Amino acid sequence: MMRSHRAGDLRPEHRGEQVTVCGWVDGHRDHGGVVFVDLRDIAGVVQVVLDPQHVQGADPHAVRSEFVLRVTGLVRDRPDGTINTELPSGAIEVAAEQVEVLNASDPTPIPIDERAEVDEVLRLRHRYLDLRGQRMQSNLRLRALVTRTLRKELDERGFIEIETPLLIASTPEGARDFVVPARLAPGSFYALPQSPQLFKQLLMVGGMDRYYQVARCLRDEDPRADRQFEFTQLDAEMSFADAEDVMEVIGAVVAAAIEAATGEPAPAVERITWHDAMERYGTDKPDLRFGLELVDVSEVFAATEFRAFQADAVKAIRVPDGGDFARNRLDGLIERAKSLGAEGLVWMRVQEGGVLDAPVAKFLSEAECIGLVDCTAAEPGDLLLLVSGDRSLVRRVLGTIRLDLGRPPVGEGPMRLAWVVDFPLFEAVDDDGNPVPAHHPFTTPHPDDLELLASASGPALLAVRSLAYDLVLDGWELGSGSVRIHRADLQQQIFELLGISPEQAQARFGFLLDAFRYGAPPHAGFAFGIDRLVMILCGEENIREVIAFPKTQSGADPLTGAPTPLEAVQLTELGLNVRPPTKKGG
Ligand code: ASP
């Protein structure tokens, strides 16, 4: 064996033992005599004492940072007064008898484990050094623990792990595909999966009953703090199951992963309808860790003379004790509301006796002032922030301002996990008058809304609910799922509504419609982002911190240089001609 112990595992109980450890020189103190080395490996750090008088092998004075050493020696107590209580191994040290330099290291271009100052591109270019730091090591370990727990929980519940192909025909999840040219079929392309959606449904038709996969998915959308081109989902599907069955299983496995990661009981999974979430938090992924809920005060101003409040909706946020917000902070909120598309934002300070101190107070009737205080349960010293206009705009603007005002940092405060249910079937109507699916086109309409679905058209269709549900953790959308359509006639009807002609449907999804003709079982499923879950559990603000080799904000990999142009011979082989780019995406 190359080593007897991991360096960072050594403890006082190893005192008196002869050990061999390997690792990197984390730091070294060389005062010309004895050399002290902090030797680092995956388990942590231990102090090694290299006394040139006694040590065999390499010259202790030649040792430098990040050299790779193999040290054999005796574990002994550190002398009194030199114990380091910050370090788990801080009571002991290894008195080296033999030291071997397994490899030297050039001075590193980035420090190990000191983040703040280092340019991100430089850090990603030398990711292997960044990975040596304690932060990335513990993040990736926690990630492995989460994945292991998810697998175990699903295995125990009768799910079968099945791999689905990477080179596929496009699956619509609403994003742009990454495509791969097919050498054997020049002019044709595979799509890389945005999700295994259609395959997991086909697995249900194939009688696999319960499937899961730790699935790599690719979507060509602009990367941002919580999104990369490539990401990993826990993807699952269940036969003979409805929404409740899926929510129970997924809620339990996510809870188990949270418990494994935090060592504490997971929060109970709450439930809120999409409509309530939008009305009270202005978003379909509410962060329930704090209040500042949106209160609908439209009724109070139903007959108002005040022009600004003669609108589709008026909503308010009560900021407890916000009455002392300075004028420039209030001006900042007004600017923020305008930048989000609102006409403006109205603020009012609540005083004793429910009197409102605000530039607009003179335009409001007494009944309106009383009604407003009543509706918002405002107390003296509070601040009220109001936005009016189109309902969806008001929700969005105040929902964003709510987050600006009160959102705790990632990982802070007791976690709040919630299912958002009863999503609308369609999220918009496009310029051709066709509805756009809110989830994907394989989602079952809510059984109570089937009549509406048959009779409505245009924007009226937006009221049709679906059997789709999202799981939200601390205001982050972990993932989505739905009860699927499993009958060819209903699927065909939805395709038609979406403006996909029977010919197009046959060409793109004929294989699915065909499969549905041979006894497709009722089925439902879910998928959630493992990267995002781990990011929250690690308390990280950026998903890159929980991915071993992520890309930058512009989708580049500074380490390998990807993406790169193809060699002419490869282009020829693939039958491709590359036009010089004209403009971005041109
Ligand atoms: N395929 C969906 C997604 O990736 C999840 C699901 O419906 O199961 O968002």
Angular region, 433: left φ>0, alpha ψ -120 to 50, beta rest? left
| The predicted structure's pLDDT at residue 116 | 65
485/467 Cα distance (integer angstroms): 10
- Minimum mean pLDDT among 57-71, 245-259, 362-376, 572-586: which range? 572-586
Of all atoms in ligand 1, which is nearest to the CA of residue 442? 7
Question: What is the best residue among 216, 425, 480, 483 to mutate for testing ligand 1's pocket, by most ligand atoms within 8 Å of CB?
Answer: 480
* Ligand 1 geometric centre to CA of 526 (Å): 6
Instruction: Pick 7-103's CATH classification: 1.10.10.60, 2.40.50.140, 3.30.300.30, 1.10.645.10.
Output: 2.40.50.140
In this structure, the residue with its CA closest to atom 9 of ligand 1 is 480
- The radius of gyration of the chain from alpha carbons, rounded to an integer in Å, stands at 30
For the residues 484-507, what does the mean pLDDT come to? 90
pLDDT in tens, 152-164: 999 999 999 999 9
pLDDT in tens, 312-339: 999 999 999 999 999 999 999 999 999 9
Regarding the beta carbon of 110 and ligand 1, being less than 6 Å apart is answered no
Instruction: Name the H helices within 377-501.
Output: 391-406, 450-455, 488-497
Our measurement of the distance from residue 53's CA atom to the centroid of its chain's CA atoms, rounded to an integer in Å, reads 55
- Per-residue confidence band for 586, with pLDDT thresholds at 50, 70 and 90: very low
pLDDT at residue 298 tops 80: yes
pLDDT at residue 370 tops 60: yes
Q: What is the percent of the chain where pLDDT is above 70?
A: 99
| The predicted structure's pLDDT at residue 431 | 85
pLDDT at residue 522 tops 60: yes
pLDDT in tens, 159-184: 999 999 999 998 778 899 999 999 99
* Ligand 1 geometric centre to CA of 172 (Å): 10
| The predicted structure's pLDDT at residue 584 | 61
Query: In the chain, which residues fall in CATH 3.30.1360.30?
Result: 291-406
DSSP state of 381: T
In this structure, the residue with its CA closest to atom 1 of ligand 1 is 197
520/485 Cα distance (integer angstroms): 10
pLDDT in tens, 76-107: 999 999 999 999 999 999 999 999 999 999 99
Nearest to 363 by CA among 317, 314, 313, 307: 307
| 49 burial type by CB count under 10 A (0-12 exposed, 13-18 middle, 19+ buried) | buried
- Give the CATH H-level superfamily of domain 291-406: GAD-like domain (3.30.1360.30)
466 in Cβ contact with 424 (< 8 Å)? yes
| The predicted structure's pLDDT at residue 468 | 97
Query: In the chain, which residues fall in CATH 2.40.50.140?
Result: 7-103
For the residues 138-159, what does the mean pLDDT come to? 98
112 in Cβ contact with 66 (< 8 Å)? yes
| The predicted structure's pLDDT at residue 300 | 96
pLDDT at residue 443 tops 80: yes
Name the pTM for this structure. Answer: 0.93
Amino acid letter, residue 164: T
| The predicted structure's pLDDT at residue 171 | 76
290/52 Cα distance (integer angstroms): 60
76/89 Cα distance (integer angstroms): 11
Instruction: Name the H helices within 498-539.
Output: 502-516, 530-537
SS3 annotation, 66-124: CCEEEEEEEEEECCCCCCCCCCCCCCEEEEEEEEEEEECCCCCCCCCCCCCCCCHHHHH
110/244 Cα distance (integer angstroms): 50
CA 485 to each of CA 204, 465, 489, 490: distance values in angstroms, whole numbers, following the listed order: 12, 14, 9, 7
State the distance between the two ends of the chain, measured CA to CA, in whole angstroms. Answer: 57
pLDDT top residue among 433 and 49? 49
* Ligand 1 geometric centre to CA of 281 (Å): 24
| The predicted structure's pLDDT at residue 432 | 84
- Per-residue confidence band for 115, with pLDDT thresholds at 50, 70 and 90: low
Q: What is the percent of the chain where pLDDT is above 90?
A: 86
